[in-house]
Amino acid sequence: MERTGTILRGREFEPIEGRIVIDDDGRIEAIEEASVEGSDIILPAFVNAHTHIGDSIAKEAGGGLSLEELVAPPDGLKHRLLRQASPEELIDAMRRSLQFMQRSGTAACLDFREGGIEGVRHLEQAAEGLPIDALSFARGSIDAMHAGDGFGASGANDAEFGDERAATRAADKPFGIHAGEVDASDIDPALDLEPEFLVHVVHPERDHLERIAEQAVPVVVCPRSNVVTDVGLSPYTALNERTTLALGTDNVMLNSPSMFREMAFLSKCSELPADEILRMATINGAEIAGLECGLIEPGRRARLTILDGDSHNLAGARDPVRAVVRRAGVDDVREVLLDP
């Protein structure tokens, strides 16, 4: 199997005109530079590094509510709606969100999974038969973490999470935690847990930034969500200078799980260059989760998003990386290869 076009190769997304040769095991056998017909743009499939797709039953609910009123456990609007929904409703709604992510070029999502063991099982059922990797960063109990792929803590002001952190180490699974979303008060205690990654970090102070750098803790940022909930925007440049950043779309009730929209928004509200934002949406999230995707190189799995470079939206683009980050959308997707 092969695909031809402008290939965004490696960590720097060097545009190469040519072909990708894919072997029978679904791995990239070769990348050959050559003059080819067609104008497709071939990029790594995305990794959505922070989602709450259980919210898929409540899209656009709670307009005008504060962050606490929307999502704070146990009685935020989201949690009340989750309790009211049947398992069948939850599973169907999550599956539709996963199908949308797949259609829009996402290979994997890191989902902070509500509902304990049952919630983990619901996500497994929602993803059954789909080529997208839906990883459960379970919350609610250590048993749920063992059933899932890691632990996703709500925030260090909600609980100490010491036992959960020790359990993830013993199980050799990742521990992620929300921090600094509303204010700075939970950043130091979150860092004390030595997590594999932090989520949000909207309000770090100088000493927090230095601790993040010293501990080399990656940060997943969710800019559209932070604007919707009116908590502000993370200091993207300062964080990027100190650590690895990845990109997530957060709660489906607040935003569509579209990495195209997330990249475009971030590109317009920050000074981060387009290639850095594309890394945040691909290889950086993959490395946080220990996934073998997000990068086009020989030997890698061929998990690819292929855009129609001659679509009405993309025709005439002079810089393919900027075009992908700032302009492209699901309507430009010609093909998504996740399990070739």
What does the pLDDT look like over 203-246, one tens digit per residue?
Answer: 999 999 999 999 999 999 999 999 999 999 999 999 999 999 99
Burial string for 70-79 (b: 16+ CB within 10 Å, else e) reads bbbeeebbbb
What pLDDT shows up at residue 79? 76
272 to 243, 262, 263, 277, 326: CA distances (angstroms): 14, 13, 11, 7, 12
pTM given for the model: 0.95
Confidence grade of residue 59 (pLDDT, cut at 50, 70, 90): confident
Give the closest residue to 90 by CA, choosing from 101, 82, 102.
Answer: 82
Burial string for 316-340 (b: 16+ CB within 10 Å, else e) reads ebeebbbbbbbbbeeebbbebbbeb
What pLDDT shows up at residue 73? 75
Of 53-62, 125-134, 254-263, 269-278, the least confident: 53-62
What pLDDT shows up at residue 66? 80
What pLDDT shows up at residue 58? 86
For range 66-94, the mean pLDDT: 84
Burial string for 3-23 (b: 16+ CB within 10 Å, else e) reads bbbbbbbeeebeebebbbbbe
Whether 81 has a pLDDT exceeding 90, the answer reads: no
- Render pLDDT for 110-152 as a digit per residue (tens, 0 to 9): 999 989 999 999 999 999 999 999 999 999 899 999 999 999 9
- Beta strands 175-179 and 150-153 are parallel
State the Cα–Cα distance between residues 209 and 204, nearest whole angstrom.
6
What pLDDT shows up at residue 74? 77
- Within a 13 Å sphere around the CA of 213, how many CA atoms are in the beta-carbon half? 12
What pLDDT shows up at residue 251? 94
Domains within the chain, CATH numbers bracketed: 2-44+294-337 (2.30.40.10), 46-289 (3.20.20.140)
Whether 84 has a pLDDT exceeding 90, the answer reads: no
What pLDDT shows up at residue 1? 94
Whether 55 has a pLDDT exceeding 80, the answer reads: yes
Rounded percentage of the chain residues whose pLDDT exceeds 90: 88
316 to 19, 107, 263, 333: CA distances (angstroms): 21, 28, 20, 16
What pLDDT shows up at residue 62? 74
Burial bucket for residue 100 (CB in 10 Å: 0-12, 13-18, 19+): middle
For range 61-67, the mean pLDDT: 77
Whether 63 has a pLDDT exceeding 80, the answer reads: no
Confidence grade of residue 10 (pLDDT, cut at 50, 70, 90): very high
168 to 16, 177, 196, 317: CA distances (angstroms): 41, 13, 10, 46
What pLDDT shows up at residue 140? 87
Rounded percentage of the chain residues whose pLDDT exceeds 70: 100
For range 4-20, the mean pLDDT: 97
For range 292-313, the mean pLDDT: 97
What pLDDT shows up at residue 65? 76
What pLDDT shows up at residue 60? 82
What pLDDT shows up at residue 75? 76
Q: Is the peptide bond before 235 cis (omega within 30 degrees of 0)?
A: no
